[in-house]
């Protein structure tokens, strides 16, 4: 059985554990480099990206996560997406991990007081899935490389992207109990598993 790590430095990580539990997938908290040993994937949750960036250095996790990403899947939601980016527009305080070949604009969808739910359409294995997306100070993907696959759009910008075995989301699926993205990246027995990339289409 696989086990997925959830970064627990800061942010909303508990709900990711809940989703993994519902899927029958083991998960454990990651707070130190040694916690990456033996796990098969990692979730970088939403939170505050400036604080998260500082804590990665405080707990000496930056380079271990970058090395981990060379052979293991990582999913980032909201602030996690920011941290996975190659570049952050107009930003000097957050040092990204350069795991996804994307450029993001932090808080592009508005401040926390402007948090909202929007509908998105995800198409996997020729199935169209209308989903709710919760945006909280959400980042916008404003540019991406040729190897990045767009899974769904939001207001004419990519909202879910995949590159190789890594996944980044502008929104918070865990807040709405949406498990399809956790299945896509971390559940080999699911028909939606990322290894069937030729069956994944943007809606």
Q: Where along the chain do its domains lie?
A: 3-202
Residue 203 has a pLDDT of 44
Round the CA-based radius of gyration of the chain to a whole number and report it: 15
> Chain-wide mean pLDDT for the chain?
89
Cβ neighbours of residue 63 closer than 8 Å, sequence gap 6 or more: none
Q: How far is CA 103 from the centre of its chain?
A: 14
Residue 22 has a pLDDT of 96
Annotation says 90 is catalytic:
no
Q: Could you say which DSSP state residue 24 is in? A: T
Q: Could you say which DSSP state residue 195 is in? A: G
Query: Average pLDDT in the 66-80 region?
Result: 96
Cross-strand partners of 6? 29, 43
Residue 85 has a pLDDT of 97
Residue 192 has a pLDDT of 87
Annotation says 172 is catalytic:
yes
Q: Which CATH architecture has domain 3-202?
A: 3-Layer(aba) Sandwich (3.40)
Residue 112 has a pLDDT of 44
Q: Which of 17, 35, 78, 183 is catalytic?
A: 78
Annotation says 78 is catalytic:
yes
Query: Average pLDDT in the 164-188 region?
Result: 93
Taking the whole predicted model, whether its pTM rises above 0.85 is answered as yes
Q: Which of 8, 16, 174, 182 is catalytic?
A: 174
Q: Which of 16, 172, 182, 183 is catalytic?
A: 172
């Amino acid at each position: 059985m696989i086990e997925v790590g959830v970064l627990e430095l800061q942010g909303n990580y508990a709900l990711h554990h809940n989703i993994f539990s519902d899927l029958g997938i083991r998960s454990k908290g990651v707070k130190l480099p040694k916690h990456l040993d033996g796990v098969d994937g990692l979730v970088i949750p939403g939170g505050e990206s400036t604080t998260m960036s500082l804590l990665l250095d405080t707990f000496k996790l930056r380079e271990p996560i970058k090395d981990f990403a060379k052979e293991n899947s990582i999913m980032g939601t909201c602030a996690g997406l920011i941290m996975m980016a190659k570049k952050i527009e107009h930003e000097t305080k957050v040092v990204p991990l350069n795991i996804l070949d994307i450029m993001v604009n932090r808080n592009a969808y508005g401040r926390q007081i402007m948090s909202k739910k929007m509908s998105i359409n995800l198409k996997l294995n020729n199935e169209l899935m209308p989903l709710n997306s919760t945006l909280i100070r959400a980042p916008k993907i404003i540019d991406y490389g040729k190897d990045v696959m767009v899974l769904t759009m939001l207001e004419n910008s990519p909202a879910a992207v995949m590159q190789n075995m890594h996944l980044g989301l502008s929104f918070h699926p865990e807040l709405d109990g949406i498990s399809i993205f956790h299945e896509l990246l971390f559940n080999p027995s699911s028909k939606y598993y990322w290894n069937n990339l030729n069956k994944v289409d943007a809606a």
